Amino acid sequence: MSDCIFCKIANGEIPTELVYQDDLVAAFKDANPLTPVHILVVPKKHYENVVDGVPAEVLAAMVHAIDVVTKETGIDKTGFRCITNTGDDAGQSVHHFHIHVMGGRKLDPNAGEG
């Protein structure tokens, strides 16, 4: 999708510090972090949301990216939350499938924080 900000970031059209990337996915710090560690993991190809026919290999690449970034930030030891919002009513503000990886402090078990 030509006007999608996450497509542009993931494919290098908008400069940002990527914390991880491979052929299928990119991960970068959220511009408006809600926790000390708040990273977005996105596929490089545009998918509206998690139920938009995302191939298994893309989902596997996203899980691998989560593994890498949580270990690099140390939140693999203290705990972290992964969130994906699907649709406007769920709070999806950018309609490009992405997973919020959040941690770095004790998270409220009753709040989505993403």
Q: Give me the DSSP letters along 56-108.
A: HHHHHHHHHHHHHHHHHHTHHHH-EEEE---SGGGT--S-S--EEEEESSPPP
Known catalytic residues are 98
Cα 56–58–61 angle (5° rounding)?
110
**In what helix (H) or strand (E) does residue 33 lie, and over which residues does it extend?**
none
Alpha-carbon span 71 to 44, nearest angstrom: 22
Residue 90 near residue 84 (C-beta atoms within 8 A) = no
Alpha-carbon span 63 to 37, nearest angstrom: 17
